[in-house]
Amino acid sequence: MATSPIVDANYRFIAAYQEVNTRVTQRQQALAIYVSIVISLFAALVALRPSATTSDAPVEWLILGFPVASICFAFLNYKAERAITNLRTFLSTLEQLGGANEILPSYNTDPKWSENANKARRFHDYAVAVLVAGGNFVGLGAAHSIYTRISDAPVFIYSAAFLALVSFVMILLTPKWSYTPD
């Protein structure tokens, strides 16, 4: 009689940890992509600046790129944080099988380890918040400085500032969704 194979908890644990590492890597890649987009937007603002031989480009639409990139980055950051939290909850459950967490160190179950890991990970959130705030502030400020006519279209500036603020708040709320052991 054939029996169905059951995947051992150790293999599940290893697979889940590989997935956590993948999510952390994706989070770092999203940060690199965000920085690249913001630098590209800065370059476009400078390249399109008015001169004696060129006319003004419609940069009103371009300035919306800064907060849109920030909001997309905040969404990706949220997605990664939720995925990591879900995976670490699963890992904690595996660490507790058969009371193993009572005799072995348990990174995801013991608050001593989890809280320190979360505190260290907050520096990623701080870096992201500074980049989002700085990128939007410098980008919108440069657009306003280079293209004085933007003042004639305040809806773009106000919309961009509002969206930038929304993305900044989302980034600051990220720790709320972080994993904490029961």
Domain boundaries in the chain? Answer: 9-177
pLDDT of residue 47: 85
In which band, very low, low, confident or very high, does the pLDDT at 2 lie, cut at 50, 70 and 90? low
CB burial of 20-32 (b: ≥16 within 10 Å; e: otherwise) equals: beebeeebeebbe
CA dihedral 172→134→163→49, nearest 10 degrees, is -170
**Average pLDDT of the chain?**
88
Indicate if the alpha-carbon torsion angle 120, 125, 126, 131 is positive or negative: positive
pLDDT at 90 over 70: yes
In which band, very low, low, confident or very high, does the pLDDT at 5 lie, cut at 50, 70 and 90? low
pLDDT of residue 176: 87
In which band, very low, low, confident or very high, does the pLDDT at 3 lie, cut at 50, 70 and 90? low
| Coil, helix or strand at residue 108 | coil
* Pair of tokens at residue 29: 């890649």
Instruction: List CB contacts of 146: < 8 A, sequence separation 6 or more.
Output: 45, 46, 49, 50, 59
Q: Are 164 and 136 in contact (CB under 8 A)?
A: yes
**Which tens digit of pLDDT belongs to each residue from 132-142?**
999 999 999 98
pLDDT of residue 148: 79
pLDDT at 80 over 70: yes
pLDDT of residue 89: 93
Separation between Cα atoms, residue 70 and residue 67, nearest integer Å: 5
> Cα 54 vs. chain centroid, distance in angstroms?
38
Lowest mean pLDDT among 35-39, 83-87, 119-123: 119-123
Separation between Cα atoms, residue 71 and residue 85, nearest integer Å: 21
